[in-house]
Structures are given as structure tokens and as C-alpha cells.
Amino acid sequence: MTATIDRPISQVPDSPASALICRNCGAQFPLGAQHACFECFGPLEIGYDAGRLSRVDRAGIAAGPQSIWRYAGLLPVGQDERTRVDSHTGMTPLIRADRLADRLGFTAPLWVKDDSANPTHSFKDRVVSVAITAARELGFSRIACASTGNLANSVAAHAARIGMDSIVFVPADLEPAKISQTAVYAGTLVAIEGSYDDVNRLCSELAETDEFEATAFVNVNVRPYYAEGSKTLGFEVAEQLGWRLPQQVVAPMASGSLLTKVHKAFKELQQIGLVPPAEYRVFGAQSAGCAPIVTAFDAGEQTVRPVKPTGIAKSLNIGNPADGPYALDAVRGTGGAMAQVTDEEIRAGIQLLAETTGIFAETAGGVTTAVLAKLVSSGRLDPARETVIYNTGDGLKTLDAIADRVGPTAVIAPTLAGMRSAGLL
Amino acid sequence: MTATIDRPISQVPDSPASALICRNCGAQFPLGAQHACFECFGPLEIGYDAGRLSRVDRAGIAAGPQSIWRYAGLLPVGQDERTRVDSHTGMTPLIRADRLADRLGFTAPLWVKDDSANPTHSFKDRVVSVAITAARELGFSRIACASTGNLANSVAAHAARIGMDSIVFVPADLEPAKISQTAVYAGTLVAIEGSYDDVNRLCSELAETDEFEATAFVNVNVRPYYAEGSKTLGFEVAEQLGWRLPQQVVAPMASGSLLTKVHKAFKELQQIGLVPPAEYRVFGAQSAGCAPIVTAFDAGEQTVRPVKPTGIAKSLNIGNPADGPYALDAVRGTGGAMAQVTDEEIRAGIQLLAETTGIFAETAGGVTTAVLAKLVSSGRLDPARETVIYNTGDGLKTLDAIADRVGPTAVIAPTLAGMRSAGLL
């Protein structure tokens, strides 16, 4: 990491974060823009001062803003509100889904955490808000990412909001909506002829170049900060349930990071006493077009073998998932399960969620809903336990997935006779 | 109104609303599903018991939910929270737009009230939440609307959420995104070969039929309730500014209802003492493809002559705007102004807003932004006065408007050589 070691750590004021810790070998490093262990090349994550975390209380959170920054005391940056990039991200609705529960045979409450309510309509606004705040505090002047689309939207929008330069890298075959929605913010947008994994590899190379020394790649060189943003998906659910944990959660998996961070959030909340100790199970969802983590889970293996992604759930199409092994740990360690679903099941999942809840999800939400249904029908998820599923994105971004399945009931002339001829009067 | 007169008013519990009042002749009628004056056929609006309104205070509002229902004491329905249809609508961000302000030469603060943050990503969720709550309280079993797209999305989504039947009517030539996003909720969706005004006329006819006796057309027979939902756009801005009014507001005009209701909200807040008395100016925005209200304003006339709408701002394409005269009154009465902008200016407005604020607006937001720029440059809106503009919808719904203007900076191979050949390294 050319750009990182000599950056002054003191630029991050008064943070409860204490170190970067290797998730593989446990080695510790000073805070900064580093993402891989110098000892074993394992991924790093943020470690905290337990005493500092335990100072956070419910009243302090409740007095905070209606955004992820109410949890600043549990995040590595943004303690001083003047340092925060606040895009009004987070505190998205937790929606009681009684009609979906009935359809699937639930006897316990079923909830949807709807992250399509974020400013660019995906959960990525959480991780980007934290990453761009960190990037600014660490002295970077440009923000960048490798993206399957939603992340590109969010990085470009956040950069436009604060007037920072941005350069985002996406596969050239992305949904057109995601290309346009990113390009409209007028940052630099590079379309790569290759898969997301190719894009990611290129970004890792670029992060090592002199020309990109002042560039923070949110999911490369500031990834430990970035990933912590997903903890807020766990914090918010607990707070919205009245400071307790649900018994089961279902999360989609691309890199696997989101799922592991929800698990981390639930553990932290218990450690510092914000929620009572409770057993919970974590469930993971992938599409059949890109299911390397589910394949390893089903085979009882710890190694995730990369695949070449296909299928309509493009925002989940990471064939070589960085956090796959940790997602396996979280699911196995809590007694959860994983499942994969076909493109047809994904489309049906989008429709089922829309018809029963009024939430129009992108393909990733269709994956999660369809996996929920499959886990219930196969007896692996208990419909008698309170359950939360995560909808991570918006149906408007992946309209093609359902455009040929839904349409007008009738097309008629603007007359009562037209209504009668269509059988509507 | 076949279905309305014999409905028991007592079904609406404990409301501060006192009567339906004709905006034309002042005649009063009992509360219920009626929208036109029996005396003069003028439009009706909700009148309130002044004593009841004045019981509402800031602390009570602050203790309410993070949605429009925190203002239930100033609305005609939803006082009992069990009666509310709460889709988590409202309390959308008020975003300080310093970079846009700089670009336009503002010396006073400029804010964007971003209603793309609502559940179906337009301000229509506000009016629909109120209308469907009223419809249920008034005993209707089905909800319906005539729509240019956003309203259809919102009605179908709200109906899916609570499991009510819905039937929505839209022009057949709408943006495909708006058709699909409505159809996915699996209500009845009728595409009409004609303009919005044809659709609206058909709905007025249908509301008189026996077959639609139990159907609430949100913008026909329960319109007085529906329209009150837009007041929350005024209430929220005042609360978010710390309980004071901005000096200038710019709102888009389709029927003209939104603008008049923001004005009504500001007046009510002053009457009941929630904000200090203050002068403010209301400005109206239309597209050149459908500018009947601006045309009347420029001509100094009070009569709005219907036009046949054209142009890309389809959500504003109401050629015969029901509230046009009242919008003229609000703008003239406060010393504001109106302007219209071309499709090219609208596209540039979308881009300007995105580049400077990170907000991706639909065409209506492009209209408002472009009109803001035009009013400033022509000296009719004062950049030294604090100003709020309303973004009423989401860019993802009208991607076609900008799809051919924005795109990747470069398309390259996934290599450093690719980066170099594109001049990016």
C-alpha cells in the first residue's frame, strides 16, 4: 500500500477504533489505509477499544441523527460530526410483512429491512458514507471503487455531494440503469470489458501505482473502514425491534461482507450490553448463477472455489468472494443455513415481495425473498421464529428482470365502452 | 357522488377537520367523499376547527413518528394511529445545496427538499398515504387513481402493503419504468389510449357508476383528503429549518395542487403559532411542453386555458390543471413568479442537480432546477434570500431523458495498458 503507511493516524480524531486486525492470523497493525496483512496477506478488519465501545448507550444513540451516524460511537470514523459525510443514509424502514408471512406459513413475526430507502437506493450508501468519511480523514483527495453497479452509483453520488473527485470502475455489461445513474453525477466512469472480478483485480493493481497514491478505493485500500458501514444494518434492526435481536436473519451474499458485519454488529451489541444476550441464526442467499459460498456450505468445505458468474442478479455476481470463508463461519457458527435460487425463482421472489409488502426490490432482494421461501419449505428456517430479511436494493435498477413478466391488465380506449370490452365494468 | 352522501361521517374518528369548503363560492358541506360543490361545481377542500389545530405543538410533533403522521393533528384523518396507512412516507431529507448555490450565484442558503426518498420515490406517497387512510375510514373497499405514473406506482404499492384491491389508470404512452413498477404490485393496471386528461375524464365518469360505488379514486372522489397530504411538504421544511419558513420556495406544477398546499401549510403554521410570522414568496415551475399556468401568469390572466401536453416531463403533463387558478393566486399573492423551461433545459437541470448535490431527479426535478436557474438569472428570484426547491421524484423513473447524454468516460480492457490508452493513467 504505497499511499498509506506514512499517513498520519492522528488525522482520525478520537475514534474508538484501536487497530487493524488480521482476520486470518490475528496480527495487529496501526489504523490507516491498509487492507491486507503484512504477515499472511489475510484481510484486515477494524478492532476497537472495548472500554470506548461500552461507553455507548441507548439514550446517546436515540439523541443522534436519523442516519447511520447515530452509531458513530461504534464506528471507526465520524465521531466529530463535522468530519462526517452525511448523505442521510440509514434508519431505513423495518417493515412488518404480515401478508408475506401468511403466504409462507410464518407463525412468528416476519420483517423486511428495506434498504432501497437509502439515497441511491441500496445498502451501499452505508459503506460509502463511512469509507468517504475515512478517506477524507486519512487525507485522500479522490475516491474510487470496483463495482457491480450499486456501489458505483453511491460513490459517484457521495462525491458529487461533497465536491470530491471520483473514478469508478464497472463491468461494461451492467444494467443500463446503473450505468446512467452513475454517469449522471459527472465523475469519471470507466467501463471494463470483463467480469467484476477482472474489475476488482485492475483496481488492486491501480491502488499500487504512484498515479493513484491519493486515491481511496473504497473496497480495496480503505476496505476495513468501508466494511464497518454494514454493521449499521445490524444496529438499526436491533434498535427498531426495541433493542433486541431477531431470532433469524436472511442476508444476500456477494463478497459475503454484509452478512458477516450484521453478525459482528449483533455480537458487539451483546458485548456492550445494548441488547440482552440471545441466540440467533444467520442465513445466506445467493443466486444459482453465482453461488460459490453456498456450494462450499453444501459440501461442508471451508474453501470457497471461485466461479465465473452468470445470471440476472448482477449486484451479487462476485465469483471470488473475499469474505466467503467468514460468511461460512457466521452461518455455521450460529446454526443457520444457505441456499441458492434460479433466475426464474429470483423473478418470482421480486413479484412475491412486491405483491405482499409493496416493496419493489432489485434482483438481490428477489434472491433473498426466494431463498427465504426455499429455506422455510425445506424446513431449514423456522417459521415459528421471528425473522428479518434484508432487501439491499431497488427494483427500479433492475427493471429488465421483470419487464417481460408484468404489464397492463388491459389497454383500452378512454371510454366506458372500452372498460366494458375489457371486462372491467 | 353516488357512493358518498350516505356514508357515516362518524367513521372518521376525532378529526380536527370540520367541513368540506368550496374554494370557489365558500359553501360548506359535511365531511365525506365529495369533491365538487353542489352549488357551483367548484373544487372542495378540507376546512378545520381552528381551536383543534391550535392544540398542536412542536413537542407533540417531535414525539411523533419519523413520517408524515407526526403531523396527524393537522391532517383530516389518521389521528388514531391504528387507522393510519403508514408506509414510512415523509421526513425526507432537506439537503443543503452549497455547491448548487455557488454555481447559481446564491449568497443565501439554498436547500433541496428531496422527495425521491419516499418509499416509491416520489411525493405522491404523501397524498396516497392520506387518501388511502381516508378511503378505509370512509368505508371504501377499493382504491383507484388517474395517474401520469408516479401516483399509479404509489397507489399500487400502498394497496399491496395493506392488501386492498386497487385499479389504476395511466396513459398508455408512459415511461416503461413507471408501467413496470406499477404492474409488479399485481393490482389492476389499465393503460388508456389517450392523454392524462382523457384518463382523468374517464375516472370521473367511472366514479359515478354503480360498479365503482365502493371505489375511492384518490384524486377524484376523495381528492379533498388526498390533496391535504401535500401540506406535509410545507410542514417538514419548516420543522427541518428549526421551525421557521424559508423566504422563497420553488415547486413544480402539474395540477398546481402541491404548490397551493405548501402555501396552505405555511399559512396554517403561522396561524397556530408553530412558526413566527414571516414573508415568503412562492415560485412555480412548468415545462414548455405543458405550461398552461405559466402562460396565464405571464399574460396576467386568471383563467388557465387547457393545452395538449408534449415533452419529456410526463409527470407534469396535465393540460387542464384543476388547481391552476389557485396556484396563480398563491404565486401572485406572495410576490413570486413562474417560468417554463424546454426539454433541453430540463435535461441540463437534471445534470446540474446531480453534479452539484448527488441527487438524481426525474424530469420534474429537472424542470424545477432549470426554472430556479432561469428565475435567478432573470432577476425574478433573489439569490440573497434563503430558498427551498422541491424535488418531487426520482431519476430512475425517467432514465430515457438522460440516457443518451451521459455514459462511461471510457470503455477499456481490464489492464493498466487499457487505462493508459484511455489517458487515465
**Number of separate domains in chain B:** 2
Confidence of residue A201 (pLDDT cuts 50, 70, 90): very high
A251 occurs within a structural domain: yes
Q: What confidence score (pLDDT) does residue B175 get?
A: 76
A33 occurs within a structural domain: yes
CB atoms B167 and A408 under 8 Å: no
Q: What confidence score (pLDDT) does residue A209 get?
A: 96
Tell me the mean pLDDT in the region A284-296: 98
Tell me the mean pLDDT in the region A358-367: 98
B306 occurs within a structural domain: yes
Q: What confidence score (pLDDT) does residue A1 get?
A: 30
Q: Please check whether residues B358 and B335 belong to one and the same domain.
A: yes
- Measured in whole angstroms, the distance separating CA B40 from the mean position of its chain's CA atoms is 27
Residue corresponding to grid cell 415547486:
B251
Determine the residue type at B27.
A
Instruction: With beta carbons less than 8 A apart as the criterion, state whether A207 and A183 touch.
Output: no
- How distant is the Cα of A246 from the closest Cα of chain B, in angstroms? 21
**Helix H or strand E encompassing B215:** strand B215-217
Q: Please check whether residues A267 and A340 belong to one and the same domain.
A: yes
**How far is it, in rounded angstroms, from Cα A340 to Cα A356?**
22
Tell me the mean pLDDT in the region B102-115: 98
- Measured in whole angstroms, the distance separating CA B199 from the mean position of its chain's CA atoms is 19
Q: By mean pLDDT, which of A238-242, A288-292, B226-230, B394-398 is the weakest?
A: B394-398
Q: Please check whether residues B155 and B293 belong to one and the same domain.
A: no
Confidence of residue B10 (pLDDT cuts 50, 70, 90): very low
CB atoms B163 and A99 under 8 Å: yes
Q: What confidence score (pLDDT) does residue A11 get?
A: 47
Q: Please check whether residues A252 and A393 belong to one and the same domain.
A: yes
The rounded mean pLDDT for chain B is 95
**How far is it, in rounded angstroms, from Cα B109 to Cα B102?**
10
Residue B348 has pLDDT above 50, yes or no: yes
**How far is it, in rounded angstroms, from Cα B265 to Cα A3?**
53
DSSP B306: P
Residue B62 has pLDDT above 70, yes or no: yes
**pTM score:** 0.95
CB atoms B202 and A87 under 8 Å: no
Task: Mutate one of B66, B213, B399, B421 to test the A interface: name it (highest A CB count within 10 A).
Answer: B399
Q: What confidence score (pLDDT) does residue B5 get?
A: 36
Burial of residue A179, with CB atoms counted within 10 A of its CB: 0-12 exposed, 13-18 middle, 19 or more buried = buried
Q: Please check whether residues A296 and A385 belong to one and the same domain.
A: yes
Confidence of residue A5 (pLDDT cuts 50, 70, 90): very low
Cell numbers for A263: 453478525
B413 occurs within a structural domain: no
Tell me the mean pLDDT in the region B244-254: 98
Q: Please check whether residues B264 and B366 belong to one and the same domain.
A: yes
Confidence of residue B327 (pLDDT cuts 50, 70, 90): very high
**B410, closest residue in chain A (CA to CA):** A190
Q: Please check whether residues B165 and B245 belong to one and the same domain.
A: no
User: Which of A168, A203, A226 is the last residue in one of the domains?
Assistant: A226
Residue A403 has pLDDT above 50, yes or no: yes
> Cβ contacts (< 8 Å) between B351 and chain A: which residues?
184, 186
- How distant is the Cα of B189 from the closest Cα of chain A, in angstroms? 5
B415 occurs within a structural domain: no
Residue A292 has pLDDT above 70, yes or no: yes
A266 C-beta neighbours (distance < 10 Å), count: 24
Residue A263 has pLDDT above 70, yes or no: yes
Tell me the mean pLDDT in the region B301-317: 96
Instruction: With beta carbons less than 8 A apart as the criterion, state whether A365 and A343 touch.
Output: no
Which pLDDT tens digit goes with each residue over B370-387? Answer: 999 999 999 999 999 999
Q: Please check whether residues B257 and B293 belong to one and the same domain.
A: yes
Confidence of residue A335 (pLDDT cuts 50, 70, 90): very high
Task: Mutate one of A396, A402, A415 to test the B interface: name it (highest B CB count within 10 A).
Answer: A396
Tell me the mean pLDDT in the region A121-146: 97
**How far is it, in rounded angstroms, from Cα B282 to Cα B268?**
15
Q: Please check whether residues B244 and B102 belong to one and the same domain.
A: yes
Residue B2 has pLDDT above 90, yes or no: no
CB atoms A99 and B419 under 8 Å: no
**B88, closest residue in chain A (CA to CA):** A93
Q: What confidence score (pLDDT) does residue B86 get?
A: 95
Tell me the mean pLDDT in the region A56-78: 97
Cell numbers for A416: 366506458
A241 occurs within a structural domain: yes
Q: Please check whether residues A159 and A190 belong to one and the same domain.
A: yes
Task: Mutate one of B92, B419, B420, B425 to test the A interface: name it (highest A CB count within 10 A).
Answer: B419
User: Which of B226, B242, B274 is the last residue in one of the domains?
Assistant: B226
User: Which of A226, A254, A287 is the last residue in one of the domains?
Assistant: A226
Q: Please check whether residues A101 and A33 belong to one and the same domain.
A: no
Which pLDDT tens digit goes with each residue over A298-309? Answer: 999 999 999 999
> Cβ contacts (< 8 Å) between A206 and chain B: which residues?
416, 419, 425
Residue A314's nearest CA partner among A196, A152, A198 is A196
- How distant is the Cα of B336 from the closest Cα of chain A, in angstroms? 29
B22 occurs within a structural domain: yes
CB atoms B181 and A395 under 8 Å: yes
Confidence of residue A14 (pLDDT cuts 50, 70, 90): confident
Which pLDDT tens digit goes with each residue over A144-153? Answer: 999 989 999 9
**Closest partner residue to A180 among B88, B172, B402, by Cβ?**
B402
CA atoms within 13 A on the CB side of A290: 27
Residue B160's nearest CA partner among A93, A98, A403 is A98
CB atoms B201 and A414 under 8 Å: yes
CB atoms A425 and B206 under 8 Å: yes
Q: By mean pLDDT, which of A383-387, B76-80, B174-178, B309-313 is the weakest?
A: B174-178
Q: Please check whether residues B182 and B325 belong to one and the same domain.
A: no
**How far is it, in rounded angstroms, from Cα B324 to Cα B339?**
14
Residue B173 has pLDDT above 90, yes or no: no
For A13-123, where are the alpha helices, taking DSSP H only? 50-53, 58-62, 98-104
Q: What's the length of chain A?
A: 425
Which pLDDT tens digit goes with each residue over A78-127? Answer: 999 999 999 999 999 999 999 999 999 999 999 999 999 999 999 999 99
Confidence of residue B174 (pLDDT cuts 50, 70, 90): confident
Residue B3 has pLDDT above 90, yes or no: no
B3 occurs within a structural domain: no
CB atoms A206 and B419 under 8 Å: yes
Task: Print the domain residue range for A358.
Answer: 94-120+230-403
Which pLDDT tens digit goes with each residue over A244-261? Answer: 999 999 999 999 999 999
Residue B61 has pLDDT above 70, yes or no: yes
- Which CATH number do you get for residue A167? 3.40.50.1100
Q: What confidence score (pLDDT) does residue A178 get?
A: 79
Q: What confidence score (pLDDT) does residue A173 get?
A: 87
Instruction: With beta carbons less than 8 A apart as the criterion, state whether B177 and A396 touch.
Output: yes
Predicted complex ipTM: 0.95
The rounded mean pLDDT for chain A is 95
Q: What confidence score (pLDDT) does residue B60 get?
A: 96
Residue B309's nearest CA partner among B254, B364, B367 is B254
